[in-house]
Amino acid sequence: MKKIFALLLGLTSCSFAFGQDESGRRSSAEFKKNFVKINLFALPLRNFSFQYERGFNENISVAMGVSFLPKGSMPFQKTIRNSMDIESGDTADAGLDFVNSAKISSWSITPEFRYYFGKKPLNGFYIAPFFRVGGYNIDWSYKYERNNGGEKPVNLKGKSTAFSGGLLFGAQWHVGQHLVIDWWILGPQYGSYNVSLEASGDFSDLTPTEKADLEDIIEGIGFSGNKFEATVTNTSVEAKNSIGLPGLRTGLCIGFTF
């Protein structure tokens, strides 16, 4: 009986040792590898941001974030106004009108690679290089004031494609068996945005001087030194802009792990 008991004790000890590494952590086969999270910081901005993370071992994981912004007013209006090169007169009015009245919707996809420095699996401080691709839809109804005192409505619709990348510094904590908190502390990034706007209609009643003036007004709207290029014809108004902007990624996520 004593020999049998000793044998069972030995097998139990071997099993326990196999489930631990030299630092006392659980083996990679035991820890929870899947995370589904929502970014709470984005909700007040009517932005719905979700992330799925998959662990490969105790220190390395990959994540995929998706977000969408329903159509509405432009977020961060004050910040955007501060980034604009607003000139005096009609251009200033047009620039402010664009920020204040344009309606936008957006989507983005953000893959990232994570490396954790904590002692527990996929826990504690981490760094995460990431890439983001996204798009925006824009509606802007501008009322051009003609030289005769009347107004000419210019209903511009357009889109923007965005590509950016950066490095996120964050920390993740496991709370209980299935709850996780993920703090995106700071993620400096740089992005490229290509914007195109177009209005179709009858603009033949505008004089050549008014067409040139409308082009100047739209071209005077700039972001960090980047101006629109506008063209006004008898049947359309077109505007294009390429913008390079730095940014910061931050957030506080709560999620479920399994």
pLDDT exceeds cutoff 90 at 225: no
Is residue 9 very low, low, confident or very high in pLDDT (cuts 50, 70, 90)?
Answer: very low
Please give the pLDDT value at position 99.
Answer: 84
Is residue 4 very low, low, confident or very high in pLDDT (cuts 50, 70, 90)?
Answer: very low
For the segment 189-208, what is each residue's pLDDT rounded down to a tens digit? 999 999 999 999 999 999 99
For the segment 151-193, what is each residue's pLDDT rounded down to a tens digit? 999 999 999 999 999 999 999 999 988 999 999 999 999 999 9
User: How does strand 229-232 pair with strand 236-257?
Assistant: antiparallel
Please give the pLDDT value at position 3.
Answer: 42
Please give the pLDDT value at position 219.
Answer: 86
Sequence-separated (6 or more) residues with CB below 8 Å from residue 117: 59, 124, 125, 126
Per the prediction, the chain carries an average pLDDT of 85
Is residue 100 very low, low, confident or very high in pLDDT (cuts 50, 70, 90)?
Answer: confident
pLDDT exceeds cutoff 80 at 83: no
Q: What is the pTM of this model?
A: 0.79
For the segment 124-136, what is each residue's pLDDT rounded down to a tens digit? 999 999 999 999 9
Please give the pLDDT value at position 213.
Answer: 93
Between these two residues, 23 and 116, which has the higher pLDDT value?
116
Residue 120 in tokens = 């527990």
Average pLDDT over residues 97-120: 94
